[in-house]
């Protein structure tokens, strides 16, 4: 029991997601939106992990999701693999890339990391859209096999399950000494080194975990929408999830998830696409001015995750 | 005996009242179009025309005695929203859908249309939407000329003028890249040579370097596979500046008022492909559509109206061709049989089991920019 | 003149516009430590308003609009500082929010149309290269503003205060220098210079609603290319960035010409050009 009490975030998530699923199940359009929100939440969680806990702002999580999505799309469409076999690869490949990348970016100032990852995201998008033979270029890949085709509720369950696993992993990480190490690194890196924490290794591991989460989100996207183009996941998603993280609260584990829900629902209620940017930009500014720790930061005590 | 007869009579009455009820109920037609976002510049005119034509049809008694009810959804130039739109309007009971407006929207919505068994009348030029390899091929019908048809028309016009060496300027996206590939294939067939091809991103700040690269290849004409007005106008300016003084041809994406306004008078002589010439030199039956639009207070913008109305008129023709109850699958089968049906555009629309590309070069026109207007070239 | 030489000349002329935006970007970076992501948006806003109003009144209106947007950013900055926030990343995020908001505003008001005006029809031929008078004006204005900013920073009392605030904010504050006011001033100067850049592009290549963030990114690359220390380096960085873009667009196409400028920015960032050795969790 105490195991689960310490991991209350996972339980809260499962409860809320089940409730939401029951409500959304009445209307296929709402179920579709719910699935999209869960996918976004998974990618937003990955930004929350690196920035909220380690202080590294990655604007490339959308690209890791894209890599996961393209990996599974290529394996299932061009090589005929089963989506379930492609899943571990879709998670491992971004994780490996994230691990390698971390060495490059984690020693930079936060602003520089953000810009370097943004630039990297743009470069990855260009590579994905130019490698015609592999990725289908601009036209993308259509006909990706669906998972649980025709049963959106089952897919929703799968997506929530994967999100819950990610949250559980995140909670376990923060409860362990590695999590405490990350918090120390964020606060005072010199102290962390003095404490004997292997800073580069730990940061690389955190980055890899985050990239893996994003890759999982990409896998879900590919097998739900069955169609992938260079613009589907990428720089635009990276920026959206950043916003979700800030709105929900970067330091709290469920913050990015809350942000994904809020922004996902509001996007449906806004009348026109043109004013969406006005709304998002304004929301970002207001949150930064008024509630820097996000909405979850207003609700929960300072210091709790 | 009496019981059987009574039941038979009751059944007969019930059946006829049911079919009467069905014949009174309006026919629902869906339209999933880009009413916001970058593709709205095409989606909004598509919607305006469809609404105008539906109003006219209902005013003159409807189809088979039934009125048409339009169910509209904005796909926000976003493929996942397009999918959502198709799902929603199908749930509302439509028998066919005009849209989505963009190629990627159609590719994303195709599998859903196949699963929900409702035909899509797609107003986009992207080739792959009617690729027979798609499992959803039976459910997608193209109502605009394909990009390949467009490019063939332009290159044929260039060849007609005796030009042989062609430079291509294209935008960094699917439209540009795939257009370049077609251009290369078609140029070979027509005996033309593409001597240089240069691209630019939507957001390029300055195009003089690209124009210079094209100039160095000494082409006789330059073909712009561009749909963004700012890019087209900027390239035109850069070309004049660096001394690339050859005829410029733009694809149909540039047949927009914004492109003409941006070039101003300096643009005179630039040739642009258009689907019909609704805003500047409409001919019969385009003139009838102009009247319908003006009656609703709308000014024709370009060719979006023609493409949208072609989609709707194809649905009308299919409805008339269906024997029995209207349903998605019945409409789909009927669509494969219609040919040379009434539309508001020049040219002939024709579908068959083998051919889901409804329109060809006879709906296209080469126009020339002349003081802010597009003049049809003979 | 050779093809390469022509590309370089075109690159220099293009770079003058980047240099214009790199100036305020480096100023803000040095005095506040963060980036104003909305610089590109100010430029597009000025171009949009300028093209709608037209003529000399349009130029004034465009500059006014850009300044108004920059004042909004300055107010946001002041608000953040008052709330106790000084981390560059947060200020940059706020400016990013403003950039997105302004971009959306432009799209809703003006739609997807192109903003372009024509200034000169004739073309001058200098050393065998055809150059439009507008590009020369752009370059001249860039040089003039560079000279003004240099003089301001190194020859006036105000400039001395700005440099002091940049080197040691706490010490400057204690010496009675109004650090926050100066920092706010750099944001507003961004509006002015951004507006000028936008109007110059309006009369040269033209732009549309998508240009904002990509312009900011290019000018950011320009600002850090030679080290974001001072106005001259920023200006030269802009010129260099223009040349890099012109060469990659003139010699290659497609993916390559899109990637080269980005790779240059990545390399400069990875070499630690931004923020020195101050990483997350570094001691102040």
For A41-92, the pLDDT digits (tens) are 999 999 999 998 888 889 999 999 999 999 999 999 989 999 999 999 999 9
Determine the structural domain holding residue C218 and report its residue range: 3-270
Torsion of CA B191, B197, B202, B205, to 10 degrees: -140
Å from C168 to nearest chain A CA? 19
For B60, list phi and psi in degrees, rounded to 5. -100, 25
pLDDT of C282 = 54
B201/C245 CB distance under 8 A: no
The pLDDT > 70 percentage for chain C reads 95
Q: Residue A181, exposed/middle/buried by CB under 10 A (0-12, 13-18, 19+)?
A: buried
Distance separating alpha carbons of residues B129 and B111, to the nearest angstrom: 11
Q: What is the pLDDT of residue C140?
A: 95
Are residues C247 and B230, on separate chains, in Cβ contact within 8 Å? no
Task: Decide if B123 contacts B46 (C-beta within 8 A).
Answer: yes
pLDDT at residue A280 above 80? yes
**Is residue C163 in some structural domain?**
yes
Segments forming the whole domain that contains residue A227: 2-232
CA-atom Rg of chain B in angstroms: 23
- SS3 of residue B243 by DSSP: coil
Count of residues for chain A?
305
Q: Is the pLDDT of residue C8 over 90?
A: yes
**B22 or C203, greater pLDDT:** C203
Mean pLDDT of A246-271: 89
What's the rounded mean pLDDT across residues B269-274?
Answer: 94
The total number of structural domains in chain A stands at 1
A273 — contact with chain B (CB < 8 Å)? Answer: yes
* A137 or B166, greater pLDDT: B166
The answer to whether residue A45 neighbours chain C at the CB level (below 8 Å) is no
Q: What is the pLDDT of residue C147?
A: 94
Q: Tell me, yes or no, whether B371 and B235 share the same domain.
A: yes
Q: How confident is the model at residue B249 (pLDDT cuts 50, 70, 90)?
A: very high
A33–B84 CB contact, under 8 Å = yes
The answer as to whether B342 is a domain residue is yes
> Does B367 have pLDDT greater than 80?
yes
**For the domain that residue B336 is a member of, what is the CATH number?**
3.40.50.2300
Work out how many domains chain B is built from and give that number: 2
Question: When comparing pLDDT for A268 and B305, which is higher?
Answer: B305
Q: Is residue A280 domain-resident? A: no
Rounded to an integer, what distance in angstroms lies between the CA atom of residue A52 and that of residue A182? 10
Q: First CA to last CA across chain B, in angstroms?
A: 77
Return the biggest CA–CA distance within chain C.
59
- Reading the block at residue C283, the tokens are 């001691």
Of the candidates C150, C221, C146, C197, the residue with the CA atom closest to the CA atom of residue C39:
C197
Cα-atom radius of gyration of chain C, to the nearest Å? Answer: 19
Residue range of the domain that includes B131:
27-145+284-360
Confidence of residue B13 (pLDDT cuts 50, 70, 90): very low
The span from the CA of B334 to the CA of C118, in Å, is 53
B309 and B331 part of one domain: yes
B176 and B50 within one domain: no
Taking only the tens place, the pLDDT of each residue in C47-98 is: 999 999 988 999 999 999 999 999 999 999 999 998 888 788 889 989 999 9
- The CA distances from residue C247 to B8, B240, C244, in Å, are 86, 20, 5
pLDDT tens digits, one per residue of B78-110: 888 898 899 999 989 999 999 999 998 998 899
Summary mean pLDDT of chain B: 90
- Inside any domain, residue C181: yes
pLDDT band for position B17 (cuts 50, 70, 90): very low
Q: Which chains touch A (3+ CB pairs under 8 A)?
A: B, C
In a domain, A247, yes or no: no
Comparing CB atoms, the residue among B36, B91, B115 nearest residue A273 is: B36
B332 and B239 share one domain: no
Helices vs strands, H then E, count in chain A: 16, 2
Residue A300 has a CB neighbour count (10 Å cut-off) of 17
Q: Band of the pLDDT at B116, cuts 50, 70, 90?
A: very high
Residues B261 and B161 in one domain: yes
List the beta strands (DSSP E) in chain A: 141-142, 227-228
Q: Please say if the pLDDT value at position B2 is more than 60.
A: no
Q: What is the CATH number of the domain that holds C41?
A: 1.10.3470
Say yes or no: A100 contacts chain B, CB-CB below 8 A. no
Quick check: is B302 in a domain? yes
Q: With H, G, I as helix, E, B as strand and everything else as coil, classify residue B251.
A: coil
Selecting from C17, C111, C249 the residue whose C-beta is nearest the C-beta of B210 gives: C249
CB within 8 Å: B91 and A28: yes
Contacts of A289 in chain C (CB under 8 A): 76, 79-80, 83, 94
pLDDT at B15: 47
- Token pair recorded at residue C49: 């308003």
Specify if B269 maps to a domain. yes
Please judge whether C14 and B206 are an interchain contact, meaning their C-beta atoms are less than 8 angstroms apart: yes
* C238 interface with B at CB cutoff 8 Å: no
**Residue-level pLDDT at C273:** 66
Nearest CA in chain B to A226: B108
pLDDT of A305 > 80? The answer is no
**In this complex, do A143 and B83 lie within 8 Å of one another by their Cβ atoms?**
no
Nearest residue in C to B258, CA atom: C113
My answer on whether B227 and B369 are in the same domain is yes
Is pLDDT above 90 for B311? yes
Long-range contacts of C70-75 (CB under 8 A, 24+ apart): C70/C38, C70/C42, C70/C187, C70/C188, C70/C189, C70/C190, C70/C191, C70/C192, C70/C194, C71/C188, C71/C191, C72/C98, C73/C36, C73/C38, C73/C98, C73/C187, C73/C190, C73/C191, C74/C184, C74/C185, C74/C187, C74/C188
Report the residue from A246, A281, A289 with minimal CB separation from C104.
Answer: A281
Question: Cα distance from C281 to chain A (closest Cα, Å)?
Answer: 4
Residue A191: inside a domain, yes or no? Answer: yes
Q: How far is C207 from chain B (nearest CA, A)?
A: 6
More confident residue, C229 or B68: B68
Query: Does B203 sit within 8 Å of C214, measured CB to CB?
Result: yes
| pLDDT for the residue B9 | 47
Residue A300 lies in a domain: no
Quote the pLDDT of residue A88.
Answer: 95
- pLDDT tens for each residue of B124-180: 998 889 989 888 999 999 999 999 999 999 999 999 989 999 999 999 888 898 899
Distance CA C271, CA C279 (A): 13
* pLDDT confidence tier of residue B37, bands split at 50, 70 and 90: confident
Contact C108 A275 (CB under 8 A): yes
Q: Does C279 touch chain B (CB under 8 A)?
A: no
Residue C62 lies in a domain: yes
Backbone angles phi, psi at C189, to 5 degrees: -60, -30
Share of chain C above pLDDT 90, in %: 52
Q: Does residue C280 form part of some domain?
A: no
The verdict on residue A288 lying in a domain is: no
Question: Same structural domain for residues B356 and B315?
Answer: yes
The residue among A142 and C103 whose pLDDT is bigger is C103
For residue B238, give the chain C residue with the closest CA.
C205
CA distance A268 to B75: 12
Cα B137 from chain centre: 17
Place of tokens 């020049």: B346
| C192 is a domain residue | yes
- Residue B264, pLDDT score: 86
- Predicted confidence (pLDDT) per residue in B332-357, tens digit: 999 999 999 999 999 899 999 999 99
Q: Report angle CA B139, B143, B145 to the nearest 5 degrees.
A: 125
What's the rounded Cα separation, in Å, for the pair C2 and C6? 6
Flag whether B2 is in a domain: no
Chain C neighbours (≥3 Cβ pairs under 8 A) are A, B
> Is C133 domain-assigned?
yes
For the whole model, what pTM was predicted? 0.88
Which ipTM score applies to this complex? 0.89
Tens-digit pLDDT profile for residues C204-251: 999 988 889 889 988 888 888 887 778 899 999 999 999 999 999 999
What is the structure's pLDDT at B202? 85
Asked if the model's pLDDT at residue B14 lies above 50, the reply is: no
Inspect the interface and report whether the beta carbons of B78 and A274 lie closer than 8 Å: no
**Residues of chain C contacting residue B258, judged by C-beta atoms under 8 Å apart:** 112-114
Residue with tokens 């590294």: A56
Indicate if the pLDDT at residue A158 is higher than 50: yes
Domain membership flag for residue C284:
no
Is there a domain that residue B19 lies in?
A: no
- Under an 8 A CB cutoff, do B78 and A273 touch? yes
Residues B372, B343 share a domain? no
Within-domain flag for B9:
no
Look up residue A162 and give its two tokens. Answer: 């994967």
CB-based contact C204 B206, cutoff 8 Å: yes
Answer whether residue B254 shows pLDDT above 60.
Answer: yes
Residue A253 is assigned to a structural domain of this protein: no
């Amino acid at each position: 029991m105490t195991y689960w009490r310490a991991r209350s975030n996972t339980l809260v998530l499962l409860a809320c997601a089940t409730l939401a699923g029951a409500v959304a199940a009445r209307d296929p359009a709402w179920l579709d939106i719910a699935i999209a929100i869960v996918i976004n939440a998974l990618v937003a969680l990955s930004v929350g992990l690196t920035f909220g806990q380690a202080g590294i702002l990655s604007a490339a999580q959308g690209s890791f999701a894209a890599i996961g999505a393209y990996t599974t799309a290529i394996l299932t469409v061009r090589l005929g693999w089963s989506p379930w076999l492609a899943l571990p690869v879709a998670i491992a490949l971004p994780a490996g890339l994230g691990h390698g990348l971390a060495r490059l970016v984690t020693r930079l100032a936060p602003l520089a990391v953000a810009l370097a990852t943004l630039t990297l995201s743009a470069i990855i998008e260009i590579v994905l859209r130019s490698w015609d033979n592999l990725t289908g270029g601009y036209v993308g890949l259509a006909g990706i096999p669906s998972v649980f085709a025709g049963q959106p509720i089952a897919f929703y369950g799968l997506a929530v399950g994967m999100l819950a696993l990610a949250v559980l992993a995140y909670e376990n990480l923060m409860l362990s000494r590695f999590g405490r190490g990350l918090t120390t690194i964020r606060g005072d890196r010199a102290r962390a080194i003095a404490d004997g924490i292997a800073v580069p290794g730990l940061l690389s591991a955190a980055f890899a975990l985050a990239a893996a989460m994003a890759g999982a989100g990409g896998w879900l996207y590919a097998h739900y929408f069955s169609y992938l183009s260079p613009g589907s996941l990428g720089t635009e998603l990276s920026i959206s999830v950043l916003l979700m993280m800030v709105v929900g609260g970067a330091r709290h584990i469920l913050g990015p998830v809350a942000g994904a829900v809020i922004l996902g629902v509001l996007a449906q209620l806004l009348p026109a696409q043109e004013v969406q940017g006005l709304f998002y930009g304004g929301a970002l500014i207001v949150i930064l001015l008024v509630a820097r720790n996000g909405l979850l930061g207003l609700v929960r005590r300072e210091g709790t995750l | 005996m009496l019981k059987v007869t009574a039941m038979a009579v009751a059944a007969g009455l019930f059946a006829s009242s049911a079919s009467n009820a069905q014949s009174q109920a309006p026919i629902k037609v869906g339209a999933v179009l880009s009413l916001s976002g970058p593709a709205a510049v095409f989606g909004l005119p598509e919607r305006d025309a469809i609404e105008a034509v539906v109003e006219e049809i209902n005013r003159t008694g409807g189809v088979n005695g039934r009125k048409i009810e339009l169910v509209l959804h904005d796909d926000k130039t976003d493929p996942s929203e397009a999918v959502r739109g198709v799902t929603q309007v199908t749930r509302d009971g439509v028998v066919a859908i005009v849209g989505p407006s963009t190629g990627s929207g159609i590719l994303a919505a195709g599998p859903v249309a196949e699963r929900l068994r409702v035909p899509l009348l797609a107003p986009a030029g992207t080739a792959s939407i009617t690729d027979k390899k798609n499992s959803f091929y039976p459910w997608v019908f193209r109502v605009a000329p394909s990009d390949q048809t467009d490019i063939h028309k332009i290159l044929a016009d260039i060849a007609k003028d005796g030009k042989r060496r062609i430079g291509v300027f294209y935008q960094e996206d699917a439209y540009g890249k795939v257009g370049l590939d077609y251009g290369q294939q078609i140029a070979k067939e027509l005996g033309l040579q593409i001597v240089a091809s240069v691209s630019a991103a939507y957001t390029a700040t300055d195009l003089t370097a690209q124009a210079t690269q094209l100039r160095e290849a000494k082409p006789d004409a330059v073909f712009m596979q561009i749909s963004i007005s700012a890019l087209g106008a900027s390239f035109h300016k850069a070309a004049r500046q660096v001394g690339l003084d050859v005829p410029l041809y733009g694809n149909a994406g540039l047949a927009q008022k914004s492109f003409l306004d941006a070039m101003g008078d300096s643009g005179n002589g630039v040739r642009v492909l258009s689907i019909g010439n609704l805003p500047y030199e409409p001919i019969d039956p385009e003139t009838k559509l102009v009247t319908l639009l003006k009656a609703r207070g709308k000014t024709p913008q370009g060719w979006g109206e023609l493409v949208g109305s072609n989609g709707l008129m194809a649905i009308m023709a299919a409805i008339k061709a269906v024997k029995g109850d209207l349903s998605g699958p019945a409409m789909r089968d009927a669509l494969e049989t219609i040919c040379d049906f009434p539309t508001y555009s020049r040219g002939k629309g024709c579908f068959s089991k083998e051919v889901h590309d409804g329109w060809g070069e006879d709906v296209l026109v080469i126009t020339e920019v002349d003081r802010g207007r597009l003049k049809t070239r003979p | 003149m050779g093809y390469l030489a022509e590309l370089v000349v075109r690159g220099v002329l293009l770079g003058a516009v980047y240099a214009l935006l790199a100036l305020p970007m480096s100023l803000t970076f040095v005095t506040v430590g963060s980036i104003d992501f909305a610089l590109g948006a100010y430029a597009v806003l000025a171009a949009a308003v300028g093209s709608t109003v037209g003529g000399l009144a349009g130029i004034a209106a465009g500059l006014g609009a850009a300044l108004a947007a920059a004042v909004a950013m300055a107010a946001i900055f002041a608000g953040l500082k008052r709330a106790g926030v000084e981390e560059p990343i947060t200020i940059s995020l706020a400016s990013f929010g403003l950039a997105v908001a302004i971009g959306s505003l432009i799209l809703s008001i003006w739609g997807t149309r192109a903003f372009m005006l024509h200034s000169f029809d004739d073309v001058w031929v200098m050393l065998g290269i055809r150059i439009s008078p507008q590009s020369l004006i752009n370059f001249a204005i860039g040089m003039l503003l560079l000279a003004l900013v240099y003089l301001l920073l190194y020859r006036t009392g105000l400039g001395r205060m700005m440099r002091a605030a940049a080197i040691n904010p706490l010490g400057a504050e204690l010496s009675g220098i109004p650090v926050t006011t100066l920092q706010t001033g750099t944001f507003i100067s961004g509006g002015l210079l951004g507006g000028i850049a936008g109007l110059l592009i309006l009369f040269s290549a033209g732009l549309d609603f998508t240009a904002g963030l990509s312009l900011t990114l290019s000018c950011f690359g320009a600002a850090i290319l030679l080290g974001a220390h001072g106005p001259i380096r920023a200006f030269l960085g802009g010129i260099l960035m223009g040349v890099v873009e012109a060469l990659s667009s003139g010699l290659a196409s497609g993916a390559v010409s899109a990637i080269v400028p980005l790779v240059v920015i990545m390399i400069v960032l990875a070499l630690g050009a931004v923020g020195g050795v101050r990483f997350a969790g570094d001691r102040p």
